[in-house]
Amino acid sequence: MLTFFDDLLNLIHEQQKFMKKRSKEIKQLNALNDLNATLVTNYDDLLCKFKLLSKEHEELKLKIGSIKNETNVFLEMEQSIPCAILIFKVDASTSSIGLIDESCSHFCNEKCCENVVVKSCDDLIAKENDELK
């Protein structure tokens, strides 16, 4: 009978070792499950951020395309204009009639323009004004 109890104690001992080993494996599996849940949450967050970045990327591509189109239109317009800076040739004149802007000639008639006298300290200009009168 003693051997029966010894065998029974050995079996109980073996079962306890087996249960401890399985308990450690279960703890490891639970830790892996927790890690997996964390990884799934991180993946979902990253996927959401990726979708937002993709949307912003598409918007930026559209804006860049629009800017390129506007730039091309501007460059085409600039190339079609021979000179973007308007240069006016101004003939220097000392007479009073030459100084009157012709674009506003509808405000005064020619009689009025002929009677304009410009006073100057310069004798040459005064002489020229007298000759023109």
- Examine the pLDDT at 114 and tell me if it is beyond 80: no
Segment among 1-10, 12-21, 34-43 with least mean pLDDT: 1-10
Q: Is the dihedral of CA 19, 22, 27, 33 positive or negative?
A: negative
- Are the C-beta atoms of 95 and 128 separated by less than 8 Å? yes
Task: For residues 42 and 27, give the distance between their C-alpha atoms in angstroms, rounded to a whole number.
Answer: 23
116 Cβ neighbours under 8 A, 6+ residues apart: 96, 97, 100
For residue 44 the two structure tokens come to 């979902």
Q: Is the pLDDT of residue 51 over 60?
A: yes
Q: Give pTM, 2 decimals.
A: 0.41
